[in-house]
């Protein structure tokens, strides 16, 4: 009788450890997914910022050229 109880206890402990391990893996996976999303978001923001800078530089160049042409007249 006591041996059965010990086996049952061990079985419960093994199940508990397996469940905890699975939960840890799920948490880690969720963390990795969130981190990946943040990284992608950061990359998109960088790209947008670079595009805005490029557009601003292009606009400045056009204005500079227009002024140069006006002064040349």
Whole-model pTM over 0.75: no
**Is pLDDT larger for residue 39 or for residue 73?**
39
Residue the block writes with tokens 């160049």: 61
- Other C-beta atoms within 10 Å of 47: how many? 10
How far is CA 49 from each of CA 1, 54, 58, 61, 62, rounded to the nearest angstrom? 72, 9, 14, 18, 20
What mean pLDDT comes out for the span 31-40?
A: 95
What mean pLDDT comes out for the span 24-36?
A: 97
Res 67: pLDDT: 82
pLDDT in tens, 64-73: 988 888 777 6
Res 73: pLDDT: 60
Provide the residue ranges of all domains of the chain, joining segments of one domain with +. Answer: 1-68
Res 49: pLDDT: 97
């Amino acid at each position: 009788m006591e041996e059965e109880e010990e086996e049952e206890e061990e079985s419960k402990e093994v199940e508990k450890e397996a469940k905890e391990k699975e939960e840890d893996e799920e948490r880690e996976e969720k963390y990795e997914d969130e981190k990946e999303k943040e990284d992608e978001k950061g990359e998109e923001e960088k790209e947008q910022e670079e595009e805005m800078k490029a557009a601003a530089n292009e606009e400045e160049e056009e204005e500079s050229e227009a002024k140069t042409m006006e002064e040349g007249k």
